[in-house]
Amino acid sequence: MSISLRRAIIDDLSTLQQLNNEVFIDNEKYDDDLVMGWATSELGKNYFSRILKNERVFCCIAEDGGKAVGYIACVPKEMSYKKSKYLEVENMGVIPEYRSKGIGAMLMENAKKWAKENGYQKLFVNSYFKNQKAIDFYKRNGFEEIDISLEVKI
């Protein structure tokens, strides 16, 4: 295994959609309200097109010998009530057979480096409350809990 990281380009659109679809498949057990297939739909295509065309967004792909095995997409998070400039990890995933091999940490370190070079002071991420594996990953990578999101069916 020889993992390399590179910035995503517009030609990576369908690759990002497929990688994000893996995240949806994994997250379905935490959220029965997800629109399965969204990532590969026209809405998903439009979302990733906007991300790839936005210079203020960081999007990176991890590859093993040219095979895309993971990605991270970070967008500016507007928090006018906060002092710091925030970048949000909006999407991140590693395909199942490459998980727990340090690829997520590589992607996160690359995102932190880019964020710092571009004037951000904090990285922000959300995780499903019951996704303890993801929460543990983020904590190992320096994140701390700051709030809890709640919802109710009406």
Q: Give 151's pLDDT tier (boundaries 50, 70, 90).
A: confident
**140 CB burial (10 A radius; 0-12, 13-18, 19+):** exposed
Q: pLDDT tens for residues 111-127?
A: 999 999 999 999 999 99
Least confident of 63-67, 129-133, 148-152: 148-152
Q: Give 150's pLDDT tier (boundaries 50, 70, 90).
A: confident
DSSP states along 64-129 = ETTEEEEEEEEEEE--TTSSS-EEEEEEEEE-GGGTTSSHHHHHHHHHHHHHHHTT--EEEE---T
Q: Report the predicted TM-score, pTM, of the whole model to 2 decimal places.
A: 0.91
- In the predicted model, is pLDDT for residue 104 greater than 90? yes
Q: Give 98's pLDDT tier (boundaries 50, 70, 90).
A: very high
Percent of the chain with pLDDT over 90: 93
What pLDDT sits at residue 144? 95
Mean pLDDT of 52-63: 96
Q: pLDDT tens for residues 23-44?
A: 999 999 999 999 999 999 999 9
Q: Which CATH number fits domain 3-140: 3.30.310.10, 3.40.50.720, 3.40.630.30, 3.40.50.300?
A: 3.40.630.30
